[in-house]
Structure 1
Amino acid sequence: MEVSNFSASYLSHRLSRIPLFYQGSKADIRNGCIQAVNCLPSDSRQQCTRNFPGLTEKRPIYFPTPKVPKQNILSSHSYLPSPCRAKSEDTEEKLSGESILLNEQSMEEELQLAIQEENYPQAAKIRDNLRLLQHDIKASVLAANARFYNSFRTGDLAALQNLWSKGEHACAVHPGVSGICGYDLVMGSWEYVWADYEFPLEIEIKDVAVHARGDIGYVTCIEMVKTRHGGWGKQFATNVFEKVDGHWYMCIHHASYIDL
């Protein structure tokens, strides 16, 4: 999905993160009124029509919007990982998704160095420790979550593309609008949103909880994002991951505004 298919337009502050899509069009949202602008390729229109059935391009659509002060609305959607709390039914332990990710990367570098130096006993030890870390389901989900947030903080679209599941079940629900389904449409929506942002951005993540079983895991958190005007926006996010061929990929991201 090329960024040209999501050409920039004015969006109201209440829906500053993403436009509404339906019937192969981008909805230009101003004061709660949707005006359609054709921008999606023909092969994407069927999906958009399913997302927003019964809507027509010839009449504006009005819908309720959250009562959020303008100065508190997010003008961006990038994240800086912070210490998080992993929860389970029996135990509760503090983990850091960022520290897990850095530890994994450091161990991989040490493993390669040990192999290059032909220090095979040390390489075997590092390999075993790395496998233990990667086999810890909650730690792996937190690491994937940290990669997701790092891609937002830096605006790294290529990293984001590699993090998402490549199927039609991929779904992103941006604040204030309905869900966008299918890998291509989801990636196109992020590319469109990021086109107007300046990176990196200052983000705080609080109240992080991770839950995982088998090949499915999810993370919930509160996101505090500093806007261009110096204020802070607040969102509650749910990030769902699935394990495919030994790697964790995001399949659902759902974020919604909450009052500060």
Structure 2
Amino acid sequence: MNAVKLWVPWVYLGLALLFIFLPVLVLIQFSFQNGMAPVPPFDGPSLKWWAKVLANRKITDGLGNSLLVGLGSAFVATVLGFLAAYALARQKRRLSGFYQFLLMAPITVSYLIIGMGLQITFNYLGFGKSLWAVGIGHVVINLPLTFAILYAQLGEHQANIERAAYDLGAKDWQVVLEITVPMLWPGLLAAFFIAATLSWDEFVIAFLMSRFDVTLPVVIWSMLKSGLSPELNATGTLVFVISILAVGVVEFLLWRSRKSHV
């Protein structure tokens, strides 16, 4: 009976992981299909569809645009999230709770609603659709996440060290750049990579706010209109691999951060 109780959680975990990752594993498998149809029976392995993906200018341009928007918007969202978190964590004011609510509010709003609102606002301002507009939209949706991550990392331990630096004559900018940021770097990198990963996979805002220069999710959507293919599977696998690598980096940084605080 004890042996059964021991194995039940592991069996449940294995079934849950299989349920989650089976579609992805099938996608990866049929990205190496030799034939035209991405369906059983499996005919391969072959790298010809991967070679076609890497030679497809539309896909490589979309990949470059996604990296540019993802890394740029993640950097801006992380900087703004840090500044907001630092201000609210170190300056306790009467309306601090209200400001936190405003910063976190976009999390509760659908990306479709945010995208429509940005589209209307940019049209009113005469700011056309572009990768810049996509990047701004991604900053809007990722700023609450970076703020929440960094606000949780700004504990009393850092505050005590900052106060000691002030007592020794350090200026505000010295405390922030030489004390706070180095202590907070695992959280900063984790916030950055999470924002970059979410921007990398985001479709709705990227679709609404772009015109000619589009990100990779929009390219994949346009390819889906002509049906499934091994080339599309290879493209999806490429997106998955990059996403999982980014998530792995985030998990490692958060583990290091937790370990350093023990």
Give the structure-1-normalised TM-score.
Answer: 0.26
RCO higher in structure (CA 8 A, sep ≥6)? 2
Q: Structure 1 or 2: larger strand share?
A: 1
Larger radius of gyration: 2
Give the structure-2-normalised TM-score.
Answer: 0.26
